[in-house]
């Protein structure tokens, strides 16, 4: 199998699986229990929290484990709006966010909030800080803008947005979904100036079912996500997913020990793929992605889903954006306002530390065969 869908999820290194198995098999104590096994688990959860917080660049007390990136996004949006409900009932986000953000904003809209969706630059997918700041009003409670777009690989100017916000409307809180950026593009909460940062383990070699939300000091008394037994500083109750947290920390440690080498390798693979695939007939590169691990392209006229299916049947895993709903381009591709034939043919390749140039060569051969043997759309 050739796996070129690392933005969807990543393989789990043996060391991560081993760490998780050890916790599942022998260290099953509840961190809230008051006997030695429980106290030991509590100590271990806090040491795993320190590992993840250290990689993110925040204090352990500012990092809350969640069940996934989706949960972190939803929590940040609700908590940000809650804190600033007296500032106003306006949210600024972008048209190219992950559905986790867009659907949470839609919920807020159903509660009477107004949401402004900043459109990307057609063609490139870029979003300027100016475009986001222009949408900010005196009643804007929250801005939510992702760090790295999961379909295009565009890196958005969060630090510049934060600086602009503190000049224009200092009360407005800033959330960034950094699920695709964590340990791939360098940042810390301080360098970004964001109040909320979402991350997720399964995009960096960790298990599914665990993520984290950074909540910064400007968020006073954050609104709890789940009331209950008081875990996660009383903000997100529920017995800690100890094995997942252990796996998350181990994956972070592994990626961190190659913090320069892995992104450099992915960027080399992306550049190789760009070069190689753009030589194929009818191929057009989509968006100006700067993230090392994502490349989006269109083989204009050849429907995305047919390519995904055909390559999939040969053991090559690629995707049609994050979600090609029943043959329709994703909302991200739609926001680029590309001609129908281009938009209907977009595929995404995404890379990990394990990806080789031979993988790209095999993918290029398969795409060429597809082009030469399958019918394009009308």
Determine whether 261 is exposed, middle or buried from the number of CB atoms within 10 Å of its CB (0-12, 13-18, 19+): exposed
The only residue of 81, 179, 277, 324 in contact with ligand PLP, by rule CB under 6 A: 179
Q: What one-character DSSP code corresponds to residue 30?
A: -
Q: Which two tokens stand for residue 71?
A: 């949960």
* CB 343, CB 304: distance < 8 Å: no
Closest distance to ligand PLP from the beta carbon of 208 (Å):
7
- Taking the least distance from each CB to ligand PLP, the nearer of 10 and 150 is 150
Specify the stretch interacting with ligand PLP by CB under 6 A; choose among 77-85, 105-113, 114-122, 174-182.
Answer: 174-182
Q: Is 291 in the site for ligand PLP (CB under 6 A)?
A: no
105 is catalytic: no
Does 180 sit near ligand PLP (CB under 6 A)? yes
Closest to 165 in 3D by CA, of 193, 201, 186: 193
Applying CB under 6 A, does 211 fall inside the site for ligand PLP? yes
Residue 38 burial (CB < 10 Å; 0-12/13-18/19+)?
middle
Taking CB under 6 A as the rule, does residue 98 contact ligand PLP? yes
Which residues, numbered 228-287, are part of the site for ligand PLP (CB under 6 A)? none
> Partners of 317 in the beta sheet?
3
CA 229, 234, 236, 241 torsion-angle sign: negative
Q: CA dihedral defined by 18, 21, 27, 31, rounded to 10 degrees?
A: 100
Region of 69-77, 234-242, 280-288, 364-372 interacting with ligand PLP (CB under 6 A) = 69-77
Which is closer to ligand PLP, CB of 19 or CB of 177?
177
Q: Which of 10, 70, 84, 244 binds ligand PLP (CB under 6 A)?
A: 70
CA torsion through residues 164, 178, 305, 266, sign? positive
- Among residues 68, 145, 324, 363, the one annotated as catalytic is 324
Q: What does the alpha-carbon distance between residue 331 and residue 337 come to, in Å, rounded to a whole number?
A: 10
| Binding of ligand PLP by 175 (CB under 6 A) | no
Those residues with Cβ within 8 angstroms of residue 369's Cβ, 6 or more apart along the chain or in another chain = none
Q: Work out how close the CB of 5 gets to ligand PLP at its nearest, in angstroms, rounded to a whole number.
A: 10
User: Does 5 contact ligand PLP by CB under 6 A?
Assistant: no
Q: To the nearest whole angstrom, how small is the minimum distance from the Cβ of residue 345 to ligand PLP?
A: 22
Pairing state between β 114-118 and 90-94: parallel
- State which residue, 150 or 242, has the beta carbon closest to ligand PLP: 150
What's the closest the beta carbon of residue 184 comes to ligand PLP, in angstroms? 12
Q: Name the β-bridge partners of 174.
A: 143
Distance (Å, rounded) from C-alpha 75 to C-alpha 60?
18
- Asked if residue 289 binds ligand PLP (CB under 6 A), the reply is no
29 vs 247, beta carbon nearer ligand PLP: 247
| Binding residue for ligand PLP, selected from 84, 104, 176, 200, defined by CB under 6 A | 200
Check residue 150 for interaction with ligand PLP (CB under 6 A).
Answer: yes
Sign of CA dihedral 128, 149, 332, 304: positive
Note whether 68 binds ligand PLP by CB under 6 A: yes
The binding site for ligand PLP (CB under 6 A) comprises: 68-70, 73, 98, 100, 146, 150, 177, 179-180, 200, 202, 211, 322
Looking at the annotation, which residues are catalytic? 324
């Amino acid at each position: 199998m050739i796996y070129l869908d690392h933005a969807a999820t990543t393989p789990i290194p043996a060391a991560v699986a081993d760490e998780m198995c050890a916790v599942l098999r022998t260290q099953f104590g509840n961190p809230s229990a008051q006997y030695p096994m429980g106290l030991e688990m509590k100590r271990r959860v806090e040491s795993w929290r320190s590992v993840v917080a250290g990689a993110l660049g925040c204090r352990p007390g500012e990092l809350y484990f969640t069940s996934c990136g989706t949960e972190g996004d939803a929590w940040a949006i609700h908590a940000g709006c809650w804190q600033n409900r007296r500032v106003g009932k306006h949210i600024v986000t972008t048209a190219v966010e992950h559905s986790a953000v867009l659907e949470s904003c839609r919920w807020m809209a159903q509660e009477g909030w107004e949401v402004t969706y900043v459109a990307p630059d057609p063609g490139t997918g870029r979003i300027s800080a100016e475009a986001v700041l222009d949408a900010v009003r005196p009643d804007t409670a929250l801005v939510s803008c992702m760090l790295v777009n999961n379909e295009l690989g565009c890196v958005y100017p969060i630090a510049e947005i934060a600086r602009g916000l503190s000049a224009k409307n200092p009360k407005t809180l800033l959330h960034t979904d950094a699920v695709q950026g964590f340990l791939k593009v360098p940042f810390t909460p301080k360098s970004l100036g964001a109040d909320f940062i979402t991350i997720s383990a399964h995009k960096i070699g960790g298990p599914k079912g665990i993520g984290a939300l950074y909540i910064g000091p400007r968020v006073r008394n954050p609104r709890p996500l789940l009331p209950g037994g008081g875990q996660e500083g009383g903000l997100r109750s529920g017995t800690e997913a100890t094995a997942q947290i252990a796996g998350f920390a181990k994956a972070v440690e592994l990626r961190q020990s190659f913090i320069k080498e892995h992104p450099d390798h992915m960027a080399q693979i992306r550049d190789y793929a760009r070069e190689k695939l753009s030589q194929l007939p009818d191929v057009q590169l989509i968006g100006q992605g700067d993230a090392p691990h994502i490349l989006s392209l269109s083989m204009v006229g050849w429907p995305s889903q047919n390519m995904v299916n055909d390559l999939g049947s040969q053991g090559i895993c690629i995707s049609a954006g994050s979600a090609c709903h029943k043959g329709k381009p994703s909302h991200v591709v739609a926001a680029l306002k590309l001609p129908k034939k281009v938009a209907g043919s977009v595929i995404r390749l995404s890379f990990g530390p394990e990806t080789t140039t031979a993988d790209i060569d095999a993918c290029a051969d398969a795409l060429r065969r597809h082009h030469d043997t399958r019918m394009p759309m009308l």
